[in-house]
Structure 1
Amino acid sequence: MAGLTLTNVIKRFGAYEVVHGANLEIADGEFVVFVGPSGCGKSTLLRMIAGLEDVSEGTIEIGGIAVNDVEPSERRIAMVFQSYALYPHMTVRRNLSFGLQMNGNPKEDTERRVAHAANILQINELMDRRPGQLSGGQRQRFAIGRAIVREPQVFLFDEPLSNLDAELRVQMRVEISRLHKQLGTTMIYVTHDQTEAMTLADKIVVLRAGRIEQVGAPLELYDNPANQFVAGFVGSPKMNFLKARIEGKGASGVTVSLRADPRVKLTLPVSSAVAAGSQVMLGVRPEHFVNAGAGDTDLTVRIDVAEHLGHTSYVYATISDEPLIIERPESRHGGDSDSLTIGLSAARCFLFDAEGSRLR
């Protein structure tokens, strides 16, 4: 097992720079998830760690040793891809052992490693089947098994569950989390799925346009996002953003009014220097709305669509054409009304300036 350090890592394709000076510390045994929109550089960063892409500038260390010039096969890493990459004509047992045999690994040790992986994944009864005889979840489980037999210092996962249906994704997510607890090996996992990131990670790395925006534990990023981008990216459904205006500043903070309805005002404890009249964004998570009269102010929205999930409802609404998602813990939002009055609590709201920097 080993930790990993990225120091000023840059990646260029020709003159185009796609990763801009990434700095990151990953402790031995941590489960770290890279998240971000498509094209943000998360898979490129993972491929540089694996040695599948060269590092243009900077240093990658695994276990305290710089690996920039070390071949992928010598880095003691194992990678699990979105595609299963199994040999269709081989049995599962042969798939698991083939790479070790090709590398000249002793037969007894190969058999030990394959048996160990099969026991961990509880797949002994499937070892003599071929990939075509397996379900998608079983194939992905075997792809992970092929990584386990290498006994790596670091596991790398590149969106491994993207091809699975919703139920299988939940099942495999639990299995990967259980695997990490059992092996205690450093794992780095790339995904765009918020639920995967929040449930699997010890630490989340949020990327945007090749830059690391924030690093922290899942609930730390959820409760204390560094900026509007992180606030909008971490959490599902994502945070609502309402255009607002600074009305003035007093001893208890700044007072903002919604541009969609200037009668709706909130006073937030902001210490940053911000001028009256400034345009800002008020952020509120769908689950942080309260019942009318229970917060610091109320607002009335027009209901477009309501999704009733039994234990909760998601109300998709608008206020002067600004969209909102509101989570209601009840199984109904209040009947078939076209409108809904809800409360806002200043303690559960965020505030961002015009550039997206967090003010509160």
Structure 2
Amino acid sequence: MASVSINQVTKQFGAVSVIRGANLHVEDGELVVFVGPSGCGKSTLLRMIAGLEDISSGDIHIGDTMVNDIEPGDRGVAMVFQSYALYPHMSVQQNMSFGLRMNGNEKADTERRVQTAAKVLQLKPLLARLPKQLSGGQRQRVAIGRAIVREPQVFLFDEPLSNLDAELRVQMRVEIARLHKELQATMIYVTHDQTEAMTLADRIVVLRDGLIEQVGSPLELYHNPANAFVAGFIGSPRINFFTGVATEYAEGHQLVQLSGRGSAVAKVATTEALPSGTLIKVGVRPEHFEIGGACGFPIKVDVVEQLGSVSYLYADTTSEYPLIVARQDDGDHRSDELTISIRAGKALLFGADGNRLR
């Protein structure tokens, strides 16, 4: 396996900048997930690592080798795509071994690699089957097995689970996490699904408009986002945002009067006091509300999403961004009118430019 280094990489399509000065180092054996909204450049960046897209400027190293001008097949990478791209007339074994056979690899070594990959992916009972005889999850495992037999330095995954139904996606996330632990492989994984990113990643790379917004562990991005975009993108259900005005500062906490919420006040832990009257944005995770409180505000619950161990209460559902409150109980809160408040020190502050105020 090998590390991957991306240094000041850009990608232009005519006058359009798709990747704008990306810098990233992926450690040997690390699983890094690129995540972001559609069109942010995550798949383009992955394809540049693979050699399927040319680099406009900058350089990419795999291990100690700069690979800018090296052909994709010689970079030591294997890619798993959204489409399984299996040959329908070939068995699982033939699909997995096809690339090695076309490259003239020794027959005994090819068989060894296929058997090893089949054991890791629990495909041994399926080696004689055709793709049409497999489920979607099994087909995706065959596609991953085809990558494993190449024994690459780096695995690249481009939204490999997006064609699967919800239950299969959960199963395959577990499979890929187990595979990474077993192979100790360097993996770079692209997805638009932040739940996949949170589940799989050692580190997450959040992209927006061709820029890397933040890099960190899943919990680091969840609890300490660098800006409002990262805070809003990471976390399910999403974070709640309020506008407000800074008031007094005391004992390491900034008090914020929430706009349009009566006398509601957020008490936010910060290192520096803000000038009174400063307009700011307050972010609150659904689990950081509590029922009642002297500085709370009333809501009317419109919809309840009951998931067993937790319920999500939705208010203001006619607005663009409904208010979401998490409750750890079994109550049926539909049509309830509640007073809620923000737990002291749990809210996040963001300036007018969207950057985090700490």
TM-score interval (norm. to shorter): over 0.9
Q: Distance in 1 between matches of 2:266 and 2:119?
A: 57
- Stretches of structure 2 lacking an aligned partner (at least 5 in a row): none
Judged with a 3 Å threshold, the aligned counterparts in structure 2 of structure 1 residues 319 and 176 are, in CA distance, closer, same or farther, namely closer
Aligned to 1:185: 185
How much has 1:345 moved relative to structure 2?
A: 1.3
Aligned to 1:326: 325
Aligned to 1:23: 23
1:15-63 CA distances to partner (integer Å, 9 max, x unpaired)?
A: 2111000000100000000010000000000000000000100010001
Aligned to 1:241: 241
1:86-97 superposed matches below 5 A: 86-97=86-97
Aligned to 1:123: 123
1:286-326 CA distances to partner (integer Å, 9 max, x unpaired)?
A: 11112323xx7322112121111222111111299562111
Query: Is the deviation greater in 151-160 or in 315-324?
Result: 315-324
Q: Distance in 2 between matches of 1:27 and 1:58?
A: 19
Q: Distance in 2 between matches of 1:166 and 1:121?
A: 20
1:340 counterpart letter in structure 2:
L
1:176-226 CA distances to partner (integer Å, 9 max, x unpaired)?
A: 001001100100000111221111100100101000011011111111111
Contact 2:2 2:186 in 1 (8 A): yes
Query: Is the deviation greater in 263-272 or in 318-327?
Result: 318-327
1:17-166 superposed matches below 5 A: 17-166=17-166
Q: Distance in 1 between matches of 2:10 and 2:205?
A: 16
Aligned to 1:346: 344
Contact 2:34 2:206 in 1 (8 A): yes
Q: The residue matched to 1:297 in structure 2 has which SS?
A: coil
2:337 counterpart letter in structure 1:
S
How much has 1:149 moved relative to structure 2?
A: 0.4
Contact 1:309 1:331 in 2 (8 A): no
Q: Distance in 1 between matches of 2:274 and 2:228?
A: 17
Q: The residue matched to 1:347 in structure 2 has which SS?
A: coil
- Stretches of structure 1 lacking an aligned partner (at least 5 in a row): none
What is the TM-score when the length of structure 2 is the normalising length?
0.96
Aligned to 1:10: 10
1:226-250 CA distances to partner (integer Å, 9 max, x unpaired)?
A: 1111111111111110111223445
Percent identity for Structure 1 against Structure 2: 61
2:65 counterpart letter in structure 1:
I
Q: Distance in 2 between matches of 1:120 and 1:164?
A: 21
Q: The residue matched to 2:356 in structure 1 has which SS?
A: coil
Q: Distance in 2 between matches of 1:267 and 1:89?
A: 64
1:341 counterpart letter in structure 2:
T
Aligned length: 357
Q: Distance in 2 between matches of 1:353 and 1:283?
A: 11
Judged with a 3 Å threshold, the aligned counterparts in structure 2 of structure 1 residues 311 and 250 are, in CA distance, closer, same or farther, namely closer
Aligned to 1:309: 307
Query: Is the deviation greater in 54-63 or in 123-132?
Result: 123-132
Contact 1:260 1:319 in 2 (8 A): no
Q: Does 1:358 align with 2:356?
A: yes
Q: The residue matched to 2:257 in structure 1 has which SS?
A: strand
1:83 counterpart letter in structure 2:
S
What is the TM-score when the length of structure 1 is the normalising length?
0.95
2:89 counterpart letter in structure 1:
H
Contact 2:252 2:271 in 1 (8 A): no
Query: Is the deviation greater in 72-81 or in 259-268?
Result: 259-268
1:163-242 superposed matches below 5 A: 163-242=163-242
Query: Is the deviation greater in 38-47 or in 283-292?
Result: 283-292
Contact 2:308 2:330 in 1 (8 A): yes
